[in-house]
Structure 1
């Protein structure tokens, strides 16, 4: 990663390099929240599935399911675990959406200001190299504003 940023010195100036580094950090933050959200969603789904399986196995009659669930702390624990996992996934989803918005906003800003960041015609060719490196190394598309 250090060599990539040292290569960027020949194609960009210091402020542009900092903008690109901030963009990479925001992308990593967004991906981290997305991963956490997926993990907690799967956890909540597994907890709910286990709760349903345990109720189906242990319940003597379908009419007594609610009574069975409320009378044993074991079932209450699984209901609380499921609710906690779901709420945590919801929390990370909100964080993910905010991080995605911040990432997309900075990405669009770089795209819109590319004529100011690489003003000379010879620097404009360097822009293409930077955009390709960002696309291949970090999967960040700086060619178009659409997601």
Structure 2
């Protein structure tokens, strides 16, 4: 990886780890988003199935609707299918939160120790590095806040 200013190996490794953690966090956010979309789609399809095969034919009696739902074996598989997407959303949400915490912890540690990590001549040019990181990887290194 080529940085816009000359850096020592330790700083390069730390910045590469920050970039890797950011990519992992972005990947988890994307997976969570797509699993949520699939969950909503499957929930909608399940609702349509219930409406067409249970509600419309048995609209006069709630007891018949419940009986039809119990007797229809496909409803169990639909519930399992929709539930699995719900679980997947939950799984990726936890993974995304963990990746976000790891990324922000590493980023904040770099910000706190940047005066020690960057040598005097590099410290004067740090704004070039920080601007490049923000533009290239959307990683803000000026302040610790998110």
TM over 0.5: yes
**2:46 matched residue in structure 1:** 51
State yes or no: 1:29 paired with 2:28. Answer: no
Contact 1:11 1:130 in 2 (8 A): no
Separation in structure 2 between the aligned mates of residue 67 and residue 134 of structure 1, nearest angstrom: 61
How many residues of Structure 1 are paired with residues of Structure 2 in the alignment? 141
Q: Distance in 2 between matches of 1:130 and 1:7?
A: 7
Q: Which one scores higher on RCO, CA 8 angstroms, separation ≥ 6? A: 2
Instruction: Specify whether residues 6 and 75 from structure 1 end up closer, same or farther in structure 2 by C-alpha distance, changes over 3 A only.
Output: same
* Residue aligning to 1:137: 136
Kindly indicate whether the alpha-carbon contact (under 8 Å) linking 1:11 and 1:126 is maintained by their aligned counterparts in 2: no
Aligned-pair Cα RMSD in Å: 1.4
Cα contact 2:29–2:96 (8 A) shared by 1: yes
CA deviation map 1:8-62 (0-9, x unaligned) = 5x42110000000000100011111111111111111111111111111112224
Structure 1 unmatched ranges of 5 or more? none
SS state at 1:25 partner: helix
- Aligned positions of 1:1-147 closer than 5 A: 5-8=1-4, 10-59=5-54, 60-62=57-59, 63=62, 64-120=64-120, 122-147=121-146
Q: TM-score, normalised by structure 2?
A: 0.90
Q: Which runs of 5+ in 2 are unaligned?
A: none
